[in-house]
Amino acid sequence: MRFDSVEPSALRTELADTAAYAEEAGLAWISVMDHYWQMMRAGFPASDPMLEAYTTLGYLAGRTETVQLGALVTGVTYRYPGLLAKIVATLDVLSGGRATLGIGAAWYEEEHAGLGVPYPALKTRFEMLEEAVKIARQMYSDDDGPFDGKHFQLAETLNSPQPLSKPEIMIGGSGEKKTLRLVAQYADACNLFASTSDDLRHKLDILRAHCDDVGRDFSTIRITTLHGSEKLIAGDVAGFVEELRPLAEQGVDTVILRPPATSLAAWMRDAVTPAVAPVSEL
């Protein structure tokens, strides 16, 4: 979510209105970025507003009743994994069982340096990611014993209250050797970055191969992907539906829209809502 056109005093109203329109339209998912700063690599000033993700999700939990809530996605470096699992369990309890734990290997080095957060090498971050997912799975189970990893050591994985519904674990990213293998091994869902239909098909073939290697049923993984909303903004609902059709045919379960740099509430009301009924027929 971007808020560069919204005054800080109006952010809570903008969020609440956006969530209300989303639920009224019957959308399945609301996600927020988990970053400290706005994304310079996407062409935005780092100084543009960026709300802290889990405070925002907690607010949205209190303003909604049906949509799934999660970060897309939390960098593994941002929070100690036991604390992250606890935060998401709390979100699940207070939302009535609607939390997803979205996590990835992290990439935004500038914001780490800016706020003094360690940013280890990529190989280390992937090792940390695997351990973080294992810790979350353990904390959402009956096992409250220790966890002794290479990077994280927990003396006791006590997590009370337990989440109402075991939070879905989503791993974000499309790296073919490491990320998609971790999806096959541990994740309930993935978020894939694919620029074309052929690219998406290739990523899904790689994921299927990893599933075969580890003995995982590919159909048990929820496939999500990011998608632009330019046609919606232009009012071309039919064109938008046709863009989604090949994604549905390839097995994508959820399309996550990138909002424009305008009022989120107005975009949800005027562009997204009219598309929901046609899309639901795919």
Q: Per-residue DSSP letters for 183-250?
A: HHHH-SEEEE--SSHHHHHHHHHHHHHHHHHHT--GGGSEEEEEE--HHHHTT-HHHHHHHHHHHHHT
Query: Could you tell me the sign of the dihedral formed by the alpha carbons of 102, 108, 112, 118, in that order?
Result: positive
More reliable by pLDDT, 240 or 106: 106
Q: Which range among 66-75, 178-187, 248-257 shows the weakest confidence by mean pLDDT?
A: 248-257
pLDDT at residue 262 greater than cutoff 70: yes
Residue bearing tokens 């959820």: 254
pLDDT on residue 35: 95
Cβ(184)–Cβ(178) under 8 Å?
no
Judged against a pLDDT cut of 70, whether residue 43 lies above it is answered with yes
Q: Are 138 and 147 in contact (CB under 8 A)?
A: yes
What are the pLDDT digits (tens) for 66-91? 999 999 999 999 999 999 999 999 99
Decide if 139 contacts 82 (C-beta within 8 A).
yes
- Quote the pLDDT of residue 1: 55
Using DSSP's 3-state secondary structure scheme, residue 39 falls into coil
Query: Average pLDDT for residues 145-165, to the nearest whole number?
Result: 98
243 vs 113, residue with greater confidence = 113
User: CA 7 → CA 11, 12, 49, 155, distances in Å?
Assistant: 7, 10, 9, 44
Sequence-ordered list of residues with C-beta below 8 angstroms from that of 59, at least 6 positions apart, any chain: 12, 15
189 DSSP β-pair partners: 170, 222
Residue 50 CB burial class (10 angstroms; 0-12, 13-18, ≥19): buried
Q: Collapsing DSSP states into helix, strand and coil, what is residue 269?
A: helix
* Three-class secondary structure of residue 174 per DSSP: coil
pLDDT at 275: 77
pTM, two decimals, is 0.93
Distance CA 175, CA 250 (A): 19
